[in-house]
Amino acid sequence: MNPRRQRRLAAVGGAGLLIVGAVALMLFALTDNIDLFYTPSEIVEGKDGVKPTVGQRLRIGGMVVPGSVSRDSESLEVTFKLIDTGPQVTVTYAGILPDLFREGQGIVATGVLAEAGVIQAEEVLAKHDEEYMPPELAEQMKGIKHVKPSEGSYE
């Protein structure tokens, strides 16, 4: 390689390193802001020592605790508990739930912290995992039976 090319290659490499470094620092500084949601244990125990305050708008992501979903028979009001690895958080929501919402499912809810450990949600989104398999296999492996959303029951 002739010296001019070498010089250009070094310049490009040096600039590249600087940019990677700058972006890495930026992302590291922004880590908390890029996270889409709090987990239930972060809501109860705080994240990096900072607990969310009552009235704060936030997102929470966790697993719907099996058996915790209760519907109001008069309205669309629904209450359920979310869990990750630690304590549980109660979510109340009035509205239509996404198709994938069921017990044991990961969900993300946006809302306001109404009181410690209770979130009044305005939007509930379902998260799905990265596993894809036919229903028969899922039944064998996980004991999960595919229920069509229209035939689902949350009671």
Residue 46 interacting with other proteins (CB under 8 A): no
CB under 8 Å to 154, separation ≥6 — which residues? Answer: 69, 71, 78, 101, 102, 103
Give the Å distances, CA to CA, from 137 to 100, 133, 144.
19, 6, 9
Confirm or deny that 93 is annotated as ligand binding.
no
Residue 51 interacting with other proteins (CB under 8 A): no
Residue 94 interacting with other proteins (CB under 8 A): no
Residue 138 interacting with other proteins (CB under 8 A): yes
Identity of the residue, 119 or 125, whose beta carbon is nearer to other proteins in the bound complex: 125
> How far, rounded to the nearest angstrom, does the alpha carbon of residue 56 sit from its chain's CA centroid?
17
Residue 5 interacting with other proteins (CB under 8 A): yes
**Sole binder of other proteins in the list 14, 19, 70, 154 (CB under 8 A):** 19
